[in-house]
Amino acid sequence: MMKASPDKTFIPAPPNNSCACNDCPHMKLNSLEKLYLCMEYETPEINMDEELRLAAKRPIDRMLEISKAAGL
């Protein structure tokens, strides 16, 4: 990514390497095939309270606003 966008600053996540997020055993269960099948058949279906959904959407919307403002 740095080669493709040398003018951008990349911040590692997590920035202080204090956790093993890059080595998450749960994320290792995902594969491109599983992602494809999930998108193709729209399963598994996730149901949640509308209030919770809206509360969870707020920080995502905010991150998108920040990235647009920063020109990312």
Residue-level pLDDT at 71: 74
Do residues 43 and 36 make contact, with C-beta atoms less than 8 angstroms apart? no
Least confident of 4-8, 11-15, 27-31: 11-15
Residue-level pLDDT at 23: 76
Which is higher by pLDDT, 32 or 67?
32
> Does residue 15 have a cis peptide bond before it, meaning omega lies within 30 degrees of 0?
no
The answer, yes or no, to whether residue 40 has pLDDT greater than 90, is yes
pLDDT tier, 72 (very low <50, low <70, confident <90, very high otherwise)? low
Q: Which helix (H) or strand (E) holds 37?
A: helix 32-41
Residue 52 structure tokens = 């919770």
**CB-based burial of residue 63 (10 Å sphere; 0-12 exposed, 13-18 middle, 19+ buried)?**
exposed
Q: What is the number of residues in the chain?
A: 72
